Amino acid sequence: MSLQGMNHFTVLSDDLEATRKFYVDLLGFEIGDRPNFQFPGYWLWVGDQPILHVIHREQLGNFRAGVIDHMAFTATDLPGTVAKLENAKIPYELRRLPQNGVREGTWQLFFDDPHGAKVEFDFDKEEPAPANHAA
């Protein structure tokens, strides 16, 4: 086996429009080409990479996370991202990795998508702290 990297994540949605608004309008993913599947959904791209596949399901179960805890993405503009989440009234948790160790000082921003999938955005340690947050 010669694993070369992560290909994509798939999230399920019983409201494609709410999911599109969250990932595209709020977070900046782009809708891109998608294979001609026999079910509705979106391929959401970052740059030239299809990174998130959204698939419609009529009904989602109550237990949504399964065994995957969260999906993490590299991001920029921590203050702007926090402001967008606050303006959209989306609760979040902001952490900073300890200054000693792997990825020291990296900012980690956690929040949930409209259907309960946990999303993590990682920001470079040199990013400024958002307003009203102690670095």
Task: Walk me through the domains of the chain, giving residue ranges and CATH numbers.
Answer: 1-58 (3.10.180.10), 69-135 (3.10.180.10)
pLDDT score for 135: 61
pLDDT score for 62: 66
Predicted confidence (pLDDT) per residue in 9-44, tens digit: 888 888 999 999 999 999 999 999 998 888 899 999
Query: pTM, whole model, 2 decimals?
Result: 0.83
Q: Is 53 strand, coil or helix?
A: strand
What is the pLDDT of the chain when averaged over all its residues?
Answer: 88
Predicted confidence (pLDDT) per residue in 48-99, tens digit: 999 999 989 887 766 555 657 788 999 999 999 999 999 999 999 999 988 7
